[in-house]
Amino acid sequence: MDDKLFTMIFTLHSGIKGTANLSSKQVDEFIQCFKEGRRYVTVVGEEYFGINTETVSNFRVSTGRVEIWDNFSSLHKQIESEKNESITNLIKAYDGPIRAKIDCKVCGRVYVTELEYCMEKTYCSGCRNDVFLQEKVGIIRTSKGMGYLYTNERKVKQ
């Protein structure tokens, strides 16, 4: 068994810094949780140590094992790339008018319209009933180009 402990220094999004002494197996488990966005809980000595990896802005492990830092660096670049892509998509959604396909189950009207921006709820112009953005469907092809689908089915929070 690997009894050598390594010091992990982490910084939360709030700016608070913390440290934990972890074995190499625990460091590997933490990195896996960090990649998957899961909470990490382990036993350090006689104490339980837990951290929500989604609140960690960065971490460093003093090990002398270069591969851990390399894995983190490539992981960090991948996460930043995904964040940038998400932010870009979000900016596009709120940047100018968007197309929306309205599929009203109450009056049976189906049409494509433009909205000022992507919103969670709007209404059917035929019967004035609320229609909701169907996020799970994502962007769809409409008769006027790509757009979002709105129906009377309420959005289900996961």
What pLDDT score was predicted for residue 146? 86
Q: Please give the pLDDT value at position 98.
A: 84
Rg (alpha carbons) of the chain, rounded to whole number: 23
Between 88 and 116, name the one with better pLDDT: 116
Q: What is the pTM of this model?
A: 0.41
pLDDT average, residue stretch 61-81: 62
Assign 68 a pLDDT band (cuts: 50, 70, 90): low
Question: Which pLDDT score, from 0 to 100, does residue 4 have?
Answer: 77
**Which residues are registered as beta bridge partners of 68?**
none
Render the burial of 14-32: b for 16+ CB within 10 Å, e for the rest: eeeeeebebbbebbeebbe
In the chain, domain spans: 5-93, 98-151
Cβ-contact 53, 33 below 8 angstroms: yes
Which one-letter amino acid corresponds to residue 148? Y
Under the banding of pLDDT at 50, 70 and 90, the label for residue 3 is: low
Determine the pLDDT at residue 92.
64
Distance (Å, whole) CA 28 – CA 43: 14
Read off the pLDDT of each residue in 49-55 and give the average, rounded to a whole number. 86
Least confident of 43-47, 61-65, 85-89, 100-104: 61-65
Chain center to CA of 148: 20
Structural tokens at position 100: 């929306």
Distance CA 112, CA 109 (A): 10
Q: Is 60 exposed, middle or buried (0-12, 13-18, 19+ CB in 10 A)?
A: middle
Helix residue ranges, H only, 10-121: 24-36, 66-94
